[in-house]
Structure 1
Amino acid sequence: MANYLPVALADSARSWLHVLPRGTIGSWAELHEHLIANFQGTFEWPGTQFDLYNIIQKPGESLQDYIRRFSKQRNKISDITDDVIIAAFTEGVRHELLVGKFGRKPPRTVKQMIEKAKKYAKAEDAVTASKQSGGTWKPKKDAPATGGSGSTNHKDRKLLDPVVRNVKLRRSLIDGGSGLNILFAKTLDDTQIPRTELKPSSAPFHGVILRLSSPLGQITLPVTFGTRENFRTENICFEVADFETAYHAILGRPALAKFMVVPHYTYMMMKMPGPRGVISLRSDIKQAVTCDKESCEMAQTREITLAREEIRLAASAATEGEVPAPKISKSGESDAKTKKIPLDPSDPTKTAVIGAELDCK
């Protein structure tokens, strides 16, 4: 059996055996002793919880790299509780937003902690990718300057085509200045979503049309961005508005925050973290300008209509409240049956007009 020992060993162990002086090993016990003495220094001992506490996020290290390094050390520890793992992770991480999130709502399990950390890591990667891509852009020589008179800067007119409950809405306005997500009633009907799904809403809004408007209700719908290979879906709460615009829907800050969107105004793009990397969405500038012009025309028409309606109502109210004046005859006397009575016998000019049918008393 000893003759097969060199065949059973590999790499460094076989080299070690070949360089041993002849007569060093005389029994299996001596082989065991020499083998342990030589290789025990190269053995990787199981980790402890103290090794996990030593995993600290380095300056400049991405959150994704820290999660990977922490998980690798965690897998080397056989007996450790979730509480210790969570404590070690929160002690070593240096991502301010994630630390704040854990401070407000501590994770209960390691699974919850890692899932939340990965979401923040994807958002961080999206921001990094956006900064890297933004540094290489240079304007064309014949491109007009942004801002000022005659500017063609349409950075606030991003138009995308998300899928809302399996229907692609090609005219969805992305408005980072809006505090609401708005779905228009016509879009709701066109997508054959029953209005019975609406929930009551008592939050009026303004700024979309001239007057204060109250929504028909609220509805929560799945909204999807991306491609078949890499997409992301979130449930978005919409206020359903009962008036027409050039858009199918308006996605405001609540939706952008839920998707963890990073806007890139130079390229008219948005980026968000996806399950298979960063999702990049590009706006159709021509379509955005077309929709913007249509919206201006519709707003102008609506303003004229409202002004005419106000004039009509004012004229109608004035007509209803007007008291018709008595008709005066050519002789200057009223057609009504009246008579003059003297007030001062010494001054005939001082008279009063009373009804002719009144009693003299």
Structure 2
Amino acid sequence: MFVARLPVGDFGQGSKRVRPDTQPVLGFSDEDKIRTIQPHDDALVITLRIGGYDVKRVMVDQGSTIEIMYSDLYKGLNLKPDDLTPYNSPLVSFEGRVVTPKGQIRLPVQTGSEVVEVNFIIVDVYSPYTAIVAKPWLHTLGAVSSTLHQKVKYPSEWQVCEIRGDQSAARQCLVAVIQHKPETKFLAKAERGL
């Protein structure tokens, strides 16, 4: 169980104010489950402001060490190949295949008044998500996330602010993954053990 010790009163939706001489303590309690569907095993899917645009279907993956941007979002943000810097390490997709990234790009990610520069690795594979944010974003923001509570909490100007997850979007993404038909060539190789 996560324990929340949030001093002093509530100052609006999504924030708790603390005295300037006190560090806000980030945590979760059963109260944070209010307005969530329980029990569940949904991914934490949020909306973030990336590169000046509100981007939906961003998955928070606290187990990953790299941030991913899928090519649909890359194209939707009108980014060009000239905007990318090389990224030479191959990645493994959710389907288990090796993916060669198109490159990487550094973009601002805004949450409330906080702005964090994030290095996104651009990949051209199917995903119902537009992007994945991971430990580097969480750590730079000073945030903690909870899939159980469907929230990300972070300190900002002596407050604890929060981003709520979208369980409906998470479930739509799960259905899309289940319905997605992987490439025939990849399936044939996998069945032959290649």
| TM-score category, normalised to shorter length | 0.7 to 0.9
Give the match for residue 153 of structure 1: 41
| CA displacement, residues 120-158 of structure 1 (integer Å, 9 cap, x when unaligned) | x6xx5141xx24xx155689xxx86x5xxxxx322xx11
- Matches of 2:44 and 2:24 in 1, distance apart? 22
Q: Does the 8 Å contact 1:160/1:284 carry over to 2?
A: yes
Q: Which residue of 1 aligns with 2:9?
A: none
3-state SS in 1 of match to 2:126: coil
Q: Give 1:293 shift.
A: 1.6
User: Contact conserved, 1:247 with 1:291, CA < 8 A, in 2?
Assistant: yes
**More moved, 239-248 vs 204-213:** 204-213
**Cα distance change on mapping 1:199 and 1:138 into 2, 3 Å:** closer
Over residues 26-61 of structure 1, what are the superposed CA-to-partner deviations in whole Å (9 max), with x where a residue is unaligned? xxxxxxxxxxxxxxxxxxxxxxxxxxxxxxxxxxxx
2:64 alignment partner AA: S
Q: Does 1:213 align with 2:93?
A: no
Displacement after TM superposition at 1:278 (Å) = 1.8
Q: Could you say which residue in structure 1 is the equivalent of 2:12? A: none
**SS at the partner of 2:119?**
strand
Name the counterpart of 1:272: 154
C-alpha distance in 1, partners of 2:87/2:103?
5
2:60 corresponds in structure 1 to 174
Higher relative contact order (CA 8 A, sep 6+): 2
Residue of structure 1 in register with 2:3 after alignment = none
Partner of 2:129: 247
Using the TM superposition, give the Cα deviation of residue 267 of structure 1 relative to its aligned residue in structure 2, in angstroms.
2.2
Aligned partner of 1:259 in structure 2 is 141
Change beyond 3 A, Cα 1:297–1:178: farther
Q: Is the 8 A contact 2:62 2:135 kept in 1?
A: yes
* TM-aligned CA deviation for residue 192 of structure 1: 0.6
Q: TM-score, normalised by structure 2?
A: 0.77
Contact 2:33–2:148 under 8 Å retained in 1: no
Point out the structure with max Rg over C-alpha. 1
The equivalent of 2:75 in structure 1 is 189
- Retained in 1: the 8 A contact 2:64–2:134? yes
Distance 1:240 1:188 in 2: 7
Larger strand proportion, structure 1 or 2?
Answer: 2
Amino acid at match of 1:246: P
Under a length normalisation based on structure 1, what TM-score does the superposition of the two structures give?
Answer: 0.44
Q: CA deviation at 1:305?
A: 4.7
* 2:171 partner letter: V
Task: Give the AA of the match of 1:307.
Answer: L
Cα deviations by residue, 1:105-134 (Å, 9 ceiling, x for unpaired): xxxxxxxxxxxxxxxx6xx5141xx24xx1
Distance 2:30 2:189 in 1: 53
Counterpart of 1:297?
179
The residue identity in structure 1 corresponding to 2:161 is I
Say whether residues 1:201 and 2:83 are aligned partners. no
Matches of 2:79 and 2:61, distance apart in 1: 24
Whole-angstrom distance in 2 between the partners of 1:278 and 1:153: 25
CA deviation digits over 1:191-247, x for unaligned, max 9? 112221100111111143321111111110000112xxxx21110001100122111
Q: Distance in 1 between matches of 2:52 and 2:46?
A: 15
Residues in 1 aligned to 2:32 and 2:86: alpha-carbon distance in whole angstroms:
47
Q: Does structure 2 retain, via aligned residues, the 8 Å contact 1:126–1:272?
A: no
Distance 1:183 1:136, change over 3 A: closer
CA distance in 1, matches of 2:140, 2:189: 41
Unaligned runs of 5+ in 2: 1-17
In structure 2, C-alpha distance between the alignment counterparts of 1:135 and 1:291, rounded to whole Å = 26
CA RMSD of aligned residues (A): 2.9
Structure 1: segments with no counterpart, 5+ residues: 1-63, 69-120, 147-151, 315-361
Identity %: 20
